Amino acid sequence: MTRSFGIVWTGLVLLPFCWIQAGEPAKPQPSGRTYLLRYKFKPGESVRWRVVHRAKVETTVSGTTQTAETFSSSVKLWRVIKVEPDGTATFEHLVESVDMRQKLSGRQEIRYNSQTDDQPPAEFAPVAESIGVCLSVITLDPTGRIVSRQRKPAKASVESEGQITIPLPKEAVPVGHRWSFPYPIDVPLESGGIKRVQTLQQFALEDVKTGVATISVATHILTPIDDPAIQAQLVQRESSGTVRFDIDAGRILSQQMDLDKRVVGFRGPASSLHYATRFTEELLTKAVETANSPKPAAK
């Protein structure tokens, strides 16, 4: 469960950062209008998102099928420390609360809600220790490139490496423009070796309405893979979906990523793995506050 839950903190598939601008031609609108997509923050503000992750994994080996279902709903917080003149922002990354469930075949469901439960089950103890704790201090430029990341030594096991939000184009772009983000994945082999697999996240500006950009996201495995055992390890790294980005506010409003894939033969001819997941994130607009916001009067 810890590995699945690690996805929840991060919002997207978090992988080693390697920035590149794709060379695909854009499909400009008749008006020729372009849009500059940039992350924007203010010193002292706190920005929160509700992050929900659902996953169901069915594994069949030698005629026996086991099912694992997981659910988590958390509140992700970025507490902005400072913003440079060029828009580069430094913020603390935290998780304020979480509601988690895990159900395995033949076992009782395990639950933990950080807002109502005093003690977590042993399986969720590492997560519980991370609630409300600064997991890292990140400096992010306006295009989403991580300039630096300082990981806190304690309570940081649930945070994944790499990308923490989607990368944005370096220049103003028209609707139809595509850009990409390549990254390698090191897959451990049963023989003890490592196989490096090249993958690519591709983005496209699909539409802009009332100041909100709709961006499509898709993951592609570039390295040919014939071994089902390796395919089974890669399945969680693939996803596709849509991001809604507020151009004026400079932040993600919402996103949804889905995956439904089956791998056959990963542990012999009669084995199969079916992995289905949905990841959503939604900006909590009422939870945005700044250091200069008026404080409630003392009673």
Residue 95 is predicted with a pLDDT of 96
Q: What is the mean pLDDT of the segment spanning 222-228?
A: 93
> What average pLDDT does the segment 262-280 reach?
94
What tens digit of pLDDT does each residue of 273-290 get? 999 999 999 999 754 444
Residue type, 178: R
Look at residue 244 in the predicted model and tell me its pLDDT.
98
Predicted local distance difference test score (pLDDT) of residue 1: 31
Per-residue pLDDT at 4: 32
96-135: per-residue pLDDT in tens? Answer: 999 999 999 999 999 999 999 999 999 999 999 999 999 9
Q: How far is CA 82 from CA 40, 41, 126, 143, 222, in A?
A: 12, 9, 30, 17, 39
At residue 136, the 3 state secondary structure works out as: strand
Q: How far apart are CA 44 and CA 23, in angstroms?
A: 38
182, 219 contact by CB (below 8 A): no
CA distances to 97, 115, 153, 165 from 132, rounded to whole Å, are 7, 11, 15, 20
Rounded CA separation 9/131 (Å)? 11
Whether 293 shows a pLDDT value over 70: the answer reads no
Mean pLDDT of 263-274: 93
Say which amino acid occupies 14: L
Domains of the chain: 2-287 (2.30.230)
pLDDT at 183: 81
The reported pLDDT for the residue numbered 264 is 95
Average pLDDT over residues 288-294: 44
Region 159-174: mean pLDDT is 83
* pLDDT tens track for 182-222: 888 899 988 889 999 999 999 999 999 999 999 999 999 99
**Which pTM was predicted?**
0.83
Tell whether the model's pLDDT for residue 27 goes beyond 60: no
Quickly state the pLDDT bin for 3 (edges 50, 70, 90).
Answer: very low
Does the pLDDT at position 87 exceed 60?
yes
